[in-house]
Amino acid sequence: MQIPPGFQFLSARSKLVCRPGAIAALPEEVQAIGARRLLLVSGGRSGQGAAARAVRAALGSLIAAEWSEIPQHSGVDTVAALAALAHEQRIDGFVAIGGGSASDSAKAAAILLAEGGTLADHANVFHPPDRYVQKVLHAPKLPIIAVPTTLSAAEVTPGLGIRDRDGHKLVFWDPGVVPRLIVLDAAATADVPASLFASTGMNALAHCIEGMYSRVRNPISEGLALQGIRLLRTALPRVVAQPGDEAAREQALVGAYLSGLVISNARVGIHHGVCHGLGSLGGLPHGVANSILLPHAMRFNREAASEHLALAAQALGADTRGLAPLQAADAAIAAVEALQLAIGVPRQLGAAGLERALLPQLARGAMSDRGLYFNPRLATEAEVLALLEAAW
């Protein structure tokens, strides 16, 4: 495998703390950051969970306000209200607890507070077939502390997505919103259903695989991706088989963290470009959408990314000795489909509740998603529709 002719790699200013019970050390970490008035951000269920209770106990009066109404696929109105509360309460930092929607909402509120205007003013846009406009956001952002309880890895990346009022996902990129502190505390995820770890773990797996064949791939992200794949493919079946296995949960959390580092530089492709719409317009949980679509996206990129998929196959535990690159790519796809079965995640969009009538609109919407720009193979709207039909 040749190194791409010229690449760059961004290393964000972020600290990771990973150990059971790590939440208890939050006061010292917050003191080092210099925050005194934190806004706790979570969804309704995660706000009542073990991790949120542990954070409240650890931080006490440092939590000046709470917002526990973050929905799946958080929207522009939620973010505007969150930013208004932060301004009103003189907040100097966020604590995001839960999944990707909590982290993305805190990031988006930080952008809105710092940059002004509306969120749409700062969103990135892809103009098919090959023009991508990324907004550069210069203003300093309030620090974010993330305590993830799923495997979305949203807390790791400079990217985020927020649903607009028409069901389209606005996407952003700002290294300034990468959380200053990320706490992986497997003990605090004991009440998170194994099924949620499984589906969001497929999202993390997709980060790793897409980052390996992205148009802006690099050898550093590739190494992180391969290790992330190894950790996820062994940890997820263990979590499903034994939900109380704390070591397996920690391994999965670390695998997801690595997947976030991957896409922080290598970005994502058509898989996420389509999954964004499956959530914001189709209403599917992001993990469910990822669980279903991944092998279909891999098959779409099979010829353009056969060498990279061959490496992924090895990390997935497939025996690729003596196989040509396309055969090894097929082995990677088969390994992902075997993992789907092993951990019991959804495999069809129709069975997951997606209306088939939405497929043309979803294909149209995906054409403006940046994931299609970074994908190794350009896609037409008709090809995206065919991919969706195969997954339905």
Q: What is the pLDDT of residues 159-218, one digit of tens each?
A: 999 999 998 889 999 999 999 999 999 999 999 999 999 999 999 999 999 999 999 999
The helix (run of H) or strand (run of E) holding residue 94 is: strand 93-98
286 pLDDT above the threshold of 90: yes
Tell me, what's the pLDDT at 343?
A: 98
Residues 183 and 201 in one domain: no
Phi, psi of 169 (to 5 degrees): -90, 120
Residues 170 and 311 in one domain: no
Report which DSSP code applies to 72.
Answer: S
Tell me, what's the pLDDT at 1?
A: 62
Interior/surface letters 84-122, b for 16+ CB within 10 angstroms, e for the rest: ebbeeeebbbbbbbbbbbbbbbbbbbbbbbbbeeebeeb
Confidence of residue 5 (pLDDT cuts 50, 70, 90): confident
3-class secondary structure, 79: helix
26 pLDDT above the threshold of 90: yes
User: Does a structural domain hold residue 10?
Assistant: no
2 pLDDT above the threshold of 70: no
Whole-number percent of the chain with pLDDT over 70: 99
In the chain, the N- to C-terminal Cα span, in Å, equals 35
Residues 198 and 68 in one domain: no
- Listed residues 152, 170, 188: the one ending a domain: 188
User: CA 192 to CA 376: how far, in whole Å?
Assistant: 35
Residues 145 and 290 in one domain: no
Domain hosting 43: range is: 15-188
pTM to 2 decimals? 0.95
Residues 168 and 259 in one domain: no
Mean pLDDT value of segment 299-311: 97
Tell me, what's the pLDDT at 83?
A: 98
Cα atoms in the 13 Å half-sphere on the side-chain side of 298: 32
Whole-number percent of the chain with pLDDT over 90: 92
Summarised one tens digit per residue, pLDDT across range 31-76 is: 999 999 999 999 999 999 999 999 999 999 999 999 999 998 899 9
- Listed residues 188, 215, 242: the one ending a domain: 188
Tell me, what's the pLDDT at 6?
A: 78
258 pLDDT above the threshold of 90: yes
User: Does a structural domain hold residue 181?
Assistant: yes
User: CA 156 to CA 177: how far, in whole Å?
Assistant: 10
Contact of 63 with 56, CB cutoff 8 Å: yes
Contact of 313 with 331, CB cutoff 8 Å: yes
Tell me, what's the pLDDT at 191?
A: 97
Give every CB contact of residue 275 below 8 A, 6+ residues apart in sequence: 206, 286, 289, 290, 293
Residues 115 and 202 in one domain: no
Q: What does the block give as tokens for 45? A: 């269920």
Residues 153 and 239 in one domain: no
Q: What is the mean pLDDT of the chain?
A: 95
Mean pLDDT value of segment 232-242: 98
Tell me, what's the pLDDT at 53?
A: 98
User: Does a structural domain hold residue 358?
Assistant: yes
Residues 236 and 318 in one domain: yes
User: Does a structural domain hold residue 141?
Assistant: yes
Tell me, what's the pLDDT at 295?
A: 98
Residues 218 and 163 in one domain: no
The helix (run of H) or strand (run of E) holding residue 190 is: none
User: Does a structural domain hold residue 4?
Assistant: no
Tell me, what's the pLDDT at 228?
A: 98
Summarised one tens digit per residue, pLDDT across range 265-281 is: 999 999 999 999 999 99
User: CA 372 to CA 214: how far, in whole Å?
Assistant: 10
Contact of 330 with 302, CB cutoff 8 Å: yes
Tell me, what's the pLDDT at 125?
A: 85
11 pLDDT above the threshold of 90: no
Cis peptide preceding 346, ω within 30 of 0: no
7 pLDDT above the threshold of 90: no
∠ Cα 186 192 195 (to 5°): 115
Q: Would the CA dihedral through 298, 303, 304, 310 be positive or negative?
A: positive
Q: What does the block give as tokens for 293? A: 């679509």
User: CA 47 to CA 40: how far, in whole Å?
Assistant: 9
User: CA 135 to CA 121: how far, in whole Å?
Assistant: 9
SS3 content of the chain, % helix, strand, coil (to 5): 55, 10, 35
- Listed residues 127, 159, 188: the one ending a domain: 188
User: CA 110 to CA 195: how far, in whole Å?
Assistant: 31
Tell me, what's the pLDDT at 376?
A: 96
Tell me, what's the pLDDT at 304?
A: 97
CATH code of the domain containing 96:
3.40.50.1970
Residues 164 and 205 in one domain: no
User: Does a structural domain hold residue 5?
Assistant: no
Residues 257 and 357 in one domain: yes
The helix (run of H) or strand (run of E) holding residue 245 is: none
Residue 21 burial class via C-beta count within 10 angstroms: exposed 0-12, middle 13-18, buried 19 and up: exposed
Query: How many domains does the chain contain in total?
Result: 2
User: Does a structural domain hold residue 7?
Assistant: no
Tell me, what's the pLDDT at 130?
A: 83
User: CA 366 to CA 380: how far, in whole Å?
Assistant: 10
Summarised one tens digit per residue, pLDDT across range 110-151 is: 999 999 999 999 999 888 888 888 899 999 999 999 999 999
Confidence of residue 353 (pLDDT cuts 50, 70, 90): very high
Residues 264 and 152 in one domain: no
Lowest-confidence region among 6-10, 193-197, 366-370:
6-10
